[in-house]
Structure 1
Amino acid sequence: MNFLRHQKCLASIVAVWVLLGLSGCAQTGYYWQSVSGHVKLMQAARPIDAWLADPQASPALKQRLQLAQAIRQFAVTALHLPDNASYQRYADLQRRHVVWNVVAAPEFSLTLKTWCFPVAGCVGYRGYFEQAAAEREAAALRAQGWEVSVYGVPAYSTLGWMNWLGGDPLLNTFIHFPDGELARMLFHELAHQVVYVADDTVFNESFATAVERLGGAAWLAQATPAARDAFAQHDARRQQFRALTRRTREQLENVYMQNEALAPVNTVQAAMKNKVMADFRQAYAALKTSWGGFAGYDPWVAGANNAALGAQAAYDDLVPAFEALFERQGRDWRRFYDAVIALARLPQAERLQQLSSPQVQTTL
């Protein structure tokens, strides 16, 4: 199970910049893998109708593609998400993930290392279409003293910038997700096409996660009882796990803040950090027992560190504020998007202050 399954494919976004001539000559190798990986993906995609008419395509795949079409239509009519070329085609990449992301953080901080690019600004991850390339980048960062996490990402987005070439396709890496999860993932990625702010990953991902959650609840309300029951079980575990990781982040932040004046190498601070992580893994073991042995988060927990926890924070921190804003807009999707777009035009500090304030008005 991919805990960060919604994170955008930065490698594909970089490919857009290169194709449009927006990048410089630096990091040529990284840009080249972005372009070649993106082109291969686009070449593999075919219209959904072509797959549905293909006698070689399995009935199971056809059923998932038809479901995806229905979800895509719901996104447009009920959630007022963009009606464009995205997710109107499908590609089988013959691998489990579309891209592998690399994130890094210092030994005593949850603040992620950032990479900066034209147009999209600075982000706290770097995406690769080949796992081996991601692992090489991770090894280089570890040699520099960073804590590093590498994880596969099944979702794919170019923020709508490639709709003129056919849009982002549905992929084998996520098409067989449970019904509720497939719907939420598509809503999340389409939300990025409504608003994207350079240099503010937390704002972008928290907004998309809020759309995913709110839109997912609306979709499930009209779904089958079986889909609702399956999602309820999955989501209950997810919320418990996120609560655990949120507490762990808060505890680590306290450790780092209280000891920030200490020398970079400090055995007391290291011991406190190790105690927090040990408690985290012990609490997770208890959760697994309560789940009847469900082990879907095992790989993430095994590699949990500052980098992994810091990356997860981008998807959680502002979600309650966006959900509150949705309520203040009368649960009207168009008004909600307009309010978020207005926030996006503000300087980052003012944007955060406005979003977090209970005094934000519906006329924002």
Structure 2
Amino acid sequence: MILTRNWFALLPAILLCACSTVKFYTQAIGGQTEIWRKARPNEQVLADPTVAEKVKQRLRLIEELRTFAASDLRLPTKSFGKYCDLKRPYVVWVVYAAPEFSAEGKTWWYPLVGGLKYRGFFTERDAKQEADKLKEKGYDVFVGGVEAYSTLGYLADPVLNTFLHRSDAELAELIFHELTHAKVFVPGDTDFNEAFATANAEDGVRRWLRAKGNVRGLRAYEQSLNKSREVVRLMLSTRERLKKVYAATHASVEAERLAKSRVFDGMLKEAADIGPYVKLHIHHAPETWNNARLNTVATYYTMVPGFERLLKEKSGDLEAFHREVAAMRKLNNEQRMKILGTTPSHD
């Protein structure tokens, strides 16, 4: 999830919105204010004898990661200098939606950042209420808890208790991912922004592990990525099959729903045949598989191979890579997709 800039700058836009939109921004301002109020500088937390050692250990690691991000990854490190314990498992709950017979996600417009393919809420109750409204309008909907988000470097985002449970490599990937959003962000292109942050963060983790001489950790990280990619490939191929279903002519809505259901049933069967890791992830809450849930993966991974290829073309030169990506801000979404080896869908 991405939030941005001074909330007071949003007030004129909020005053012109419908009541439901005013409610959304009000809860967003309240949630962000809670984080500001509870955040303390890392050095204060590290010196506090009442703070658990496991929290301090993660903060020390994050300080190491921030230093590496600045020196080796050329990333801005304004964020993660403070710590905030929200005493809940997620910082926000995000709503994704898509039409019943379309693989393309619904987009919400926000001041300053343009269209994004999700709506974030600081309470699960509010997220579920929004999801119920969308379901009543006929949308496929998925709600998921999120452990971190970025304000794109406009604000100094703190470390949150919600993501300290991650392994060292997973924590490094999250930190590098969110810092990447502050490096380059294209308003209105969710897929581009998230895929760039994903590719850049994964590369950053590899560099960090190599710099530490952690061969075993690097091998484990690569194995983890390979397993995750199996899940991603299955989900993206399922999405492509659905596009063909939606593009076809059907005798009735019921027939189209049946064809859609068969695609998802096929995905579950294929997951079981591939192996236990894929089955574990795909078969989790199988009743929630729909267009919206598939888009949570498409948003983050569809363009990743294109960014990986671009970084390779730059011989691993991060400054050249980042300049090339930043230059794409001048292009439209379709032009960026073409450069990155993907094509826009029109289902």
Q: Common fold, TM-score beyond 0.5?
A: yes
Q: 1:254 aligns with which of 225, 239, 244?
A: 244
Structure 2 equivalent of residue 276 of structure 1? 263
Deviation at 1:249, TM superposition (A): 1.0
Contact 2:7-2:29 within 8 A present in 1 as well:
no
CA deviation profile, 1:82-136 (whole Å, cap 9, x unmatched): 132x011111110010000011111111111111121111111100000000000
CA deviation profile, 1:153-192 (whole Å, cap 9, x unmatched): 0012111111xxxx00111111120111111111111111
Contact 1:45-1:91 within 8 A present in 2 as well:
yes
Structure 2 equivalent of residue 99 of structure 1? 92
Structure 2 equivalent of residue 342 of structure 1? 327
CA deviation profile, 1:168-224 (whole Å, cap 9, x unmatched): 011111112011111111111111111111111111111111101211221222343
Deviation at 1:288, TM superposition (A): 5.3
Structure 2 equivalent of residue 66 of structure 1? 60
| Residue-pair matches, total | 337
For 2:51, give the aligned amino acid: A
| CA distance, structure 2, for counterparts of residue 248 and residue 346 of structure 1 | 29
SS in 1 for 2:300: coil
Structure 1 equivalent of residue 345 of structure 2? none
Q: 2:304 aligns with which of 319, 333, 341?
A: 319
SS in 2 for 1:90: strand
TM-score, length-scaled by structure 1: 0.86
Contact 1:343-1:354 within 8 A present in 2 as well:
no
Q: Share of identical aligned residues, percent?
A: 36
The 5 A counterparts of 1:176-187 are 176-187=165-176
Structure 2 equivalent of residue 76 of structure 1? 70
Which runs of 5 or more residues in structure 1 are unaligned? 1-7, 358-364
The 5 A counterparts of 1:184-263 are 184-223=173-212, 224-225=214-215, 227-259=217-249, 262=250
Q: 2:143 aligns with which of 141, 150, 168?
A: 150
CA deviation profile, 1:316-360 (whole Å, cap 9, x unmatched): 111111111112222111111111111111233333333439xxx
1:170 equivalent to 2:159? Answer yes
Deviation at 1:299, TM superposition (A): 3.7
SS in 1 for 2:145: strand
Quick one: structure 1 residues 311 and 335, their matched pair in 2 at CA, closer, same or farther if it must change by over 3 Å? same
SS in 2 for 1:206: helix
Structure 1 equivalent of residue 291 of structure 2? 306
| CA distance, structure 2, for counterparts of residue 155 and residue 302 of structure 1 | 26
For 2:106, give the aligned amino acid: K
TM-score, length-scaled by structure 2: 0.90
| CA distance, structure 1, for counterparts of residue 33 and residue 183 of structure 2 | 24
| CA distance, structure 1, for counterparts of residue 240 and residue 260 of structure 2 | 12
Which runs of 5 or more residues in structure 2 are unaligned? 343-347
Quick one: structure 1 residues 45 and 298, their matched pair in 2 at CA, closer, same or farther if it must change by over 3 Å? farther
SS in 1 for 2:183: coil
Contact 2:181-2:193 within 8 A present in 1 as well:
yes
Structure 2 equivalent of residue 109 of structure 1? 102
| CA distance, structure 2, for counterparts of residue 296 and residue 283 of structure 1 | 12
Quick one: structure 1 residues 279 and 297, their matched pair in 2 at CA, closer, same or farther if it must change by over 3 Å? closer
Contact 1:18-1:35 within 8 A present in 2 as well:
no
SS in 1 for 2:120: strand
Quick one: structure 1 residues 352 and 239, their matched pair in 2 at CA, closer, same or farther if it must change by over 3 Å? closer
Structure 2 equivalent of residue 38 of structure 1? 32
